[in-house]
Structures are given as C-alpha cells and as structure tokens.
C-alpha cells in the first residue's frame, strides 16, 4: 500500500525564537518586518496545518496586498482558510487605525504645500472606495489640516451637490481655506464637465464667504488630477 505524502509546514512554535515575528519586532523594530510578518502578529494564531505566517501570506495574495485587504469586507476575509470573524475584525481594525493615524495626531497635523501633499493624505483610502465620496480638507491659516470632512456619498454632479453643504463644516470649524476632493471609482481621474462646474460654483461661493477654495482634487487608482493646476473651474 502506497503511503500518501503529506507536506509538513512548521508551526510558529517550531521556528527558532529569533525567527518568530513577535520576537523579531521586539528586537529589531516594526520596520524590519515584512508585511506578512506584521499581519501575522495581528492574526496571532494560525489553523490546523498552517502556521499564522502562511495564513497572512495567503491573505495578501488573495486580496493583492494591503490596498485589497483594506477594501475587502469582513465576510470576504472570512472566506480564506484560517480566518474567522474575530481575525477578520482584527485585521480591519488595524488597517483603520493606520488610516486614522495619517490625520488624527493633532500635534503633527499635516501641512499642505502643494496638490501632491493633499493627494498623498487621501489617496490610500479614497482610491479604494467603490462609491464616489466628496470630501473637504479644512485648513488653518498656515495650511495645516484641521479636519477631513465627508460631505457627500453617491454619484456626484453639480445639480445634486448643494454648494452650501460644502462650506457648512468649514464655517463651523472657522477654517481659513479648504480643498475639495472626490474619487472616481473607475480609477480614471480625468475630470468631467460636472467636476468643472462644481469647482467653479465652489470657488465663487468661497469668495463670497471669505473661505478660499485652494484646489479640487480628482482621485483615481494611485493617480490624481489637480483642477487648479489644469485651470479647470478656477479663474
């Protein structure tokens, strides 16, 4: 009778202590670890026949890296062997903390000096959204970000977005200026005629209210367009 060959995968406890992700992070720091190792620490334990590092690698492959993980739902994560609701929720919570860290530290508020600064603040999340989101970056007199506010979710056009809503939170926060930003779920950031009209209306309203509209960014898949740089909607 032929014996079936079973591939042996070492469990995390079988690895030398210096090769385990938690011990490596404690000794060398988080930046020394691979993405899979960091994800393995969040997952904590693997499953029968698969160590936690292997489960982490499978997640990254299945969802094409961290951007895909951030976009996946809890239900989709649970479809990977070894990932239950508890692990999926832990992954989503960790990714959300990372996103919030970009803007949440009040003593390290980002300063916007050019369109790329604003785009880099928004693109990691907004390029993954399946619906259009219109947001405002509220800035103080030194162009430091005071708040990022979601104004509208859904299909955008100049008729559906009330210009007054663009400035409601800006007036409440007493900001000096703002930047508009919205995403194109198609991944193509080419501005539409509606985008130009919305920009023009916002700029004119801002002049009346004394709140400068510095730019309107269109976010695509790892690309963006600055309406100000292209002279679209700005005089």
pLDDT digit string, tens, across residues 1-56: 444 444 434 455 545 555 678 888 888 888 788 888 889 899 988 777 778 888 88
Residue (of 178, 146, 48, 42) closest to 97 by Cα position? 42
pTM: 0.59
- Could you tell me if 111 and 143 are in contact, meaning their C-beta atoms sit under 8 angstroms apart? yes
Biggest CA–CA distance in the chain, Å, is 87
Residue that is written with structure tokens 């559906």 in the block: 160
- Could you tell me if 75 and 63 are in contact, meaning their C-beta atoms sit under 8 angstroms apart? no
CATH code for 107-230? 3.40.140.10
**Cα(170)–Cα(147) distance, rounded to whole angstroms?**
9
| CATH among 1.10.3470, 1.10.260, 1.10.150, 1.20.1250 for 12-103 | 1.10.150
- C-beta neighbour count of 137 within 10 angstroms: 27
What would the two tokens of residue 55 be? Answer: 């489960």
- Could you tell me if 32 and 19 are in contact, meaning their C-beta atoms sit under 8 angstroms apart? no
Tens-of-pLDDT digits for all 235 residues of the chain? 444 444 434 455 545 555 678 888 888 888 788 888 889 899 988 777 778 888 888 898 888 888 788 888 999 999 988 898 999 999 999 988 877 776 566 556 788 999 999 998 888 778 878 889 999 999 999 999 988 888 988 876 555 678 888 999 999 999 999 999 999 999 899 999 999 999 999 999 999 999 999 999 999 987 899 999 999 999 7
Domain limits, the chain: 12-103, 107-230
């Amino acid at each position: 009778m032929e014996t079936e060959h079973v591939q042996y995968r070492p469990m995390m406890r079988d690895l030398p202590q210096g090769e385990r992700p938690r011990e490596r992070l404690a000794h060398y720091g988080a930046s020394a670890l691979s993405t899979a190792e960091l994800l393995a620490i969040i997952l904590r334990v693997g499953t029968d026949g698969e160590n936690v590092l292997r489960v982490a690698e499978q997640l990254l492959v299945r969802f094409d890296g961290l951007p895909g993980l951030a976009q996946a739902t809890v239900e989709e994560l649970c479809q990977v062997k070894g990932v239950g609701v508890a692990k999926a929720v832990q992954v989503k919570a960790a990714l959300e903390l990372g996103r919030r860290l970009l803007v949440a530290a009040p003593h390290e508020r980002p300063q916007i000096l050019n369109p790329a600064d604003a785009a880099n603040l928004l693109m990691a999340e907004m390029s993954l959204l399946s619906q259009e989101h219109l947001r405002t970056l509220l800035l103080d007199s030194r162009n430091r970000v005071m708040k990022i506010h979601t104004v509208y979710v859904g299909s955008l056009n100049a008729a559906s977005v009330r210009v007054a809503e663009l400035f409601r939170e800006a007036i409440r926060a007493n900001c000096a200026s703002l930047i508009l930003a919205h995403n194109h779920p198609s991944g193509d950031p080419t501005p539409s005629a509606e985008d130009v009209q919305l920009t023009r209306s916002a700029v004119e309203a801002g002049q009346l209210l004394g709140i400068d509209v510095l730019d309107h960014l269109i976010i695509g898949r790892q690309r963006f367009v600055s309406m100000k740089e292209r002279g679209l909607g700005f005089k």
